[in-house]
Structure 1
Amino acid sequence: MKNRKTKYLILVLSILGLLNCYCQNSFKKVSFEILYEENDPLPGTNIMVKNSIPIIETQSDFNGKAELNLNDLNVNVELSYGPRFKFKLIENVDFIKVYLKKKKVTYYSKNKILKKGKLKGY
């Protein structure tokens, strides 16, 4: 009887271990800094991944900074603070700086500029 309970316990623990490995996603943290102009952070800007289910969104803090944890970087992001803008994330990005007045976005990876682009308003 004791041997049978031990076998079942080992079986259950093995299944739980496999489920835990299967369910873990590798999320990538992307940080944002939202500025209206140079040295003018924009708090309260809504940052949302378009068409995400469940909805993935956050808001910039008092310093215009925010973070999103994403498992796919090939997504479209929408910014709104009144006017609405959108841009596409790119691979290997870990930080994005947005200048809303100039409608510019700069992508960084490990403190190096990867790409500069324009925001699309709508």
Structure 2
Amino acid sequence: KGGQWNKLEVDMKDAVGTYKLSGLRNYAGGDLDVNMQKATLRLGQFKGNSFTSCKESADRTTRVDFNAKNILIDNFLDINNRVRSGAGRKTSSTVLTLQASERITSGKNAEISLYDGATLNLASNSVKLMGNVWMGR
């Protein structure tokens, strides 16, 4: 509790190659900024990822930003889903920004779910989402 006010920054702007982020479930730790401008980022290859914001005593917007050369979504990506004790736990709002200098793609079995209070920003020269996108879950 209380970690949702912290910010985590990952500065790998000179890294090249492919990096995988999988199994980051119910991330509610506060803002997350991942900078990998020259690399490919695969989100959710074996397990999905979910990012959310807990509503404690005050509204809080969690901002999650990924910046890479290419971003591939392989599994599920949940934005602002309920966490911890489920239905009894309130969420605030989460803004997920995927920024890729070349392309953003998702496989045909990938699912992106935007729950109430979620915002998804996609910024790239090419965006091709072949899987499902669910809004207002």
TM-score (norm 2): 0.24
Which protein is richer in strand relative to its size? 2
Give 1 or 2 for the bigger CA radius of gyration.
Answer: 1
Which protein is richer in helix relative to its size? 1
TM-score (norm 1): 0.26
